[in-house]
Amino acid sequence: MMQTNSISTEPLVLLEQVAVAQDEHWIIQDVNLTVHPGEFVYLIGQTGSGKSSLLKALYGEIPLAAGTGHVCGHDLSQITRHNVYSLRRDLGMVFQDFALLPDRTAAENLAFVLSATGWSDRSAIDLRVQTCLDQVGLGTKGYKMPHALSGGEQQRVAIARALLNEPPLIVADEPTGNLDPETTEGILELLHELVRNDRSVIMATHDHAAFERHPGKVIRCAQGRVEILDALPL
């Protein structure tokens, strides 16, 4: 689904002159980035170019080394390990390795997250879990253990988990990296369907062919810098 134009003037992500470093090593510098509601953003670049580090900065895993950043209304300079949960309540995070609890069913994986984020009404939890499983096409498979699901189905559970608290921003780090081409296409279609006037998706990927099949804003990390591409890379 093509993203719609945002009716909001408030960006979900606003980075100004941002730098990210780890172990005193500068990974990426001078990042200026604005993401509005209703945008699908591809983050591309070679391994080691800083894609994952930039995403980690967005969800508070790595502090900013310089510059200012706001994500979903949160000032990144004020985020610490003690209050990072407040930022992550407004983010949905999807990773390459699914990160599902192997000893719980798909539905139990989702219910666990809701309980951990303050939900206590069992009927409300069950309803929200079912709603999110329905949204990713797994409404009849909540009873299955992760090992009984295909890789694509496990990633759909992970996406359902990211949707639980209705976040305005989904951050996905190589979500199709372990999937075959047909399954990848289904996950890409699903992620694009999630984009609405009040929600955006930022996805790091190596799959350059995805841009033509599912257009979006393309941002490239290279040589310690970030650039917005006006044209698709060849």
Which numeric CATH code is attached to 9-90+167-234? 3.40.50.300
| Residue 94: burial class (beta carbons within 10 Å; 0-12, 13-18, 19+) | buried
Q: Please list the residue range(s) of the chain that carry CATH number 3.40.50.300.
A: 9-90+167-234
| Interval 16-54: pLDDT, tens | 999 999 888 899 999 999 999 999 999 998 888 899 999
C-alpha closest to that of 117 among 94, 146, 88: 88
Strands 217-222 and 225-228: antiparallel
The answer to whether 217 and 185 have CB atoms below 8 angstroms apart is no
- What confidence score (pLDDT) does residue 187 get? 93
In the predicted model, residues of the chain with pLDDT beneath 50 are 1-7, 234
- Tell me the two tokens of residue 118: 């303050």
Are 59 and 88 a contacting pair, CB within 8 Å?
Answer: yes
What's the pLDDT score for residue 8?
53
- 203: which strand partners? 42, 172
At 212 the pLDDT is 80
What is residue 215's predicted lDDT score, i.e. its pLDDT? 87
Residue 2 has what pLDDT?
Answer: 41
Model pTM score? 0.90
